[in-house]
Amino acid sequence: MNHNDLTEGSVIFFSQDYTNHRRDWDEFSEVYESILLKLKDKYSNKNIFYRLHPYIERQEYKQELNFHLDFAKKFNLETLPTSPLADILIKDNSDKISATYSIDSGVINTSLRYNIPSYHLYGVFVSNKIPHPYKKIIDPNMFGWEYAYGIIEPTSDSEKWEDNPLIKNNKLYLNITDSSQVGSIDDVSHKTEMPSVKWDDLKWDKT
């Protein structure tokens, strides 16, 4: 399946590169698979695509690639290739994609920019008390980029994910905490307001 062949109404699940590395966490696998099952149930009349993460083409990730291919086969999902990058895939097919599901804040941001209902999957893991799959960190606030790699703690004045202008009050965004919420904002009508910044909005302590 090529990304140019997407049809109107397509739903895209963006897989992650570290999924197979976390197969030893039973709880992670269960939640991951439960989301896919729910998607299959909810969108039985639509094309659901399992988009492969670019990293898994790295040589050392051969096993990871095989896992994802087997996984897609198990759920009878068509895969989308690792190229083009997610932001280009979404932009080029914004009129065909009816919803995106991703744990990746970058994918969510791009999807919202093009007014596509965007389901953030951090919440499912957090509500199931499953640590962030990348760094195995448990933090109920960890929904976006501010803890991206789990090494540097955000400071008190760090911008919070939920305050991101693209996210805040955006009816096209849903941080899923329960798989019953799959599909619940698909019919919402909303236009994402792109933020604008003035000079006085900028702060920089150069000392």
Partner 1 sequence: MSILYKQSTYEDRIVSQSLNLADMFLTSSNAQYWAGKNNHHGVLTSFDWIPSSGSLTLLEANMTIEVASQHANNNWNSQFSQSIGLSPTSKKFDMDAMATYISESGHTSIIHVTRNVPGWQQQPHPNVLTKFNTILNNYGITSSSKYEVNYGQMIPDFDVPDTTFVLRYSYEIGSEIDETICTRDKFNSLVRSSGYSSYIQQLSGSWTTDFVKNEDGVPDVVVKKDYTFGGEGIQMFDVDSFTSNFLSSSYNYVEKYNKPDVNHLGDSVEVRGVVMMTPTKNIMVSQVPEYTGGDAWLNHNHLTSFTNEDGLTEYTYGNRKEYNNKFVTLVGEKVLSSSNEWIDIEDLTIGYVLVSYDTGSSEKGTTTISDIDLVQWGSDYLINNTLKFMSGSYVYNSSNGSSGWSFAQIQDVAVGSYILSSSLQSVQVSSSLARSTATANALGDRLGWVIDAEPSDHIFVEGTLVHDDK
Task: Point out which residues bind partner 1 (CB under 8 A).
Answer: 17-18, 21, 54-55, 57-61, 83-85, 87-88, 91, 104-110, 113, 134-135, 145-152, 154, 159, 164-166, 194-199, 202-204, 206
C-alpha–C-alpha distance, residues 56 and 69, integer Å: 11
Eight-class DSSP state of 105: H
- For residue 4, the SS3 value is helix
CA 41, chain centre distance (Å): 19
Nearer of residues 14 and 50 to partner 1, judged by Cβ: 14
Which is nearer to partner 1, 169 or 199 (by Cβ)? 199
CB of 81 to partner 1, least distance (A): 9
What is the distance between the alpha carbons of residues 36 and 13, in angstroms, rounded to a whole number?
A: 8
Which is closer to partner 1, CB of 45 or CB of 151?
151
Query: Considering the complex, what minimum distance in angstroms separates the CB of residue 95 from partner 1?
Result: 15
Nearer to partner 1, 9 or 54 (CB): 54
Distance between CA atoms of residues 61 and 163, nearest Å = 35
Nearest to 76 by CA among 39, 108, 111: 39
Q: How far is the CB of 25 from partner 1 (least distance, A)?
A: 13
User: In the complex, what is the shortest distance from the CB of residue 106 to partner 1, in angstroms, rounded to a whole number?
Assistant: 2
Bridge partners of 49?
A: 12, 78
Q: 108 or 126: whose CB is closer to partner 1?
A: 108
Which spans in 17-172 are helix H? 26-42, 62-74, 86-92, 105-113, 122-127
100 in Cβ contact with 108 (< 8 Å): yes
Residue 150 CB, nearest distance to partner 1 (Å)? Answer: 7
- Kindly tell me which of 55 and 75 has the beta carbon lying closer to partner 1: 55
- Smallest separation, CB 144 to partner 1 (Å): 8
Phi-psi region of 60 (alpha: psi -120 to 50; beta: other; left: phi over 0): alpha
